[in-house]
Structure 1
Amino acid sequence: METIGKGLIIVEDEPLISLMIEDIAHDLGWLVVGSVHTEEDAFRLLGQCQPRVALLDINLGLTTSLAVASSCQDRGIPVIFITGYTARDVPSQCGGAPILAKPFSPCDLERSLKRILTPENSAA
């Protein structure tokens, strides 16, 4: 599959879930340019690459990914939040970013990626 321009990062504190997301993304033709488990490592990764999309778990144990999402937004990187939260529990700071509820299917992730990358959504 074609992966040019299809690099993404994953910020997920649960290693097994992170591996599952990596596998699904790869099967969908995406290149995972980095997968990290903490807010600190996410900022370090963003300093090293310019992904096309960021997949962020909201809750990272003792911290959240909301500051990472803000940094991505400042850099024009679309964000998809992947979370176990219900819709009413999602922090208001998530704004209009798509929310993909765990558990999700490969088709769910593919739909979210297509939705966030449509021209009307990707113009920042």
Structure 2
Amino acid sequence: MKSILIVEDDPLIRMMLEDGLRRAGFDVLLAASSEAAVAAISARAEQLCALVTDIQLGDRTSGWELARFARECNPEIPIVYTSGTCGTNWPAQGVPASQFVGKPFTNDDILGALTALLNDPGKHAA
């Protein structure tokens, strides 16, 4: 089964996303740091159908860098970036076939971005 990887260092946001995506029928993998995310991507890149990542993760690797790494491992993976502060950098820093959802957001916001990317990834390039 294909999974969505959520990378979020805030435990409350991570739990909210996990709950919303599971209720929407997705299999979910969680990572609280970029290090854990790199390990998950390395181990399961082809089994991931999307990546939802915060941009500012609190460790040395940003969500921008994490998305580029994910694309090296799985060139087709859709990316949804989240942040409360870094949205203006998305056109320059984001990878193609990605979307940005600003914080605060709802599960419906994330589901809308994922649905758009999964249904037609080429229309939503950064």
Q: Same fold (TM over 0.5)?
A: yes
> 2:33 aligns to what?
38
- The Cα shift of 1:60 comes to 0.5
Whole-Å Cα distance in 1 between the matches of residues 14 and 102 of structure 2? 14
Structure 2: give runs of 5+ residues left out of the alignment.
Answer: none
The sequence identity of aligned pairs, in percent, is 26
Task: Name the CA distance, whole Å, in 2 between partners of 1:62 and 1:112.
Answer: 25
Return the alpha-carbon distance in structure 2 between the equivalents of residues 66 and 38 of structure 1.
Answer: 13
TM-score, with structure 2 as normaliser: 0.81
**TM-score after normalising by structure 1:** 0.82
Cα distance between partner residues in 2 of 1:8 and 1:38: 15
Which one is further off, 66-75 or 113-122? 113-122
SS at match of 1:59: coil
Residue of structure 2 in register with 1:47 after alignment = 42
Q: Which runs of 5+ in 1 are unaligned?
A: none
Contact preservation (8 Å) 1:115, 1:121 = no
Give yes or no for contact 1:72–1:78 (8 Å, CA) kept in 2.
Answer: no
* DSSP-derived class of the 1:103 partner: coil
- Residue 78 of structure 2 aligns with an amino acid whose one-letter code is P
The alpha-carbon distance between structure 1 residues 95 and 119, as it changes in their structure 2 partners (threshold 3 A), is closer
* Bigger proportion of residues as helix: 2
> Contact 1:58–1:65 at 8 Å: present in 2 too?
yes
Deviates more, 1:64-73 or 1:12-21: 64-73
Whether the 8 Å CA contact 1:8–1:51 is kept in 2: the answer is yes
1:1-124 to structure 2, matched below 5 A, reads 4-5=1-2, 7-32=3-28, 34-49=29-44, 50-63=47-60, 64-74=62-72, 75=74, 76-85=76-85, 87-88=87-88, 90=90, 92-96=92-96, 97-121=98-122
Mean CA deviation greater in 11-20 or 77-86: 77-86
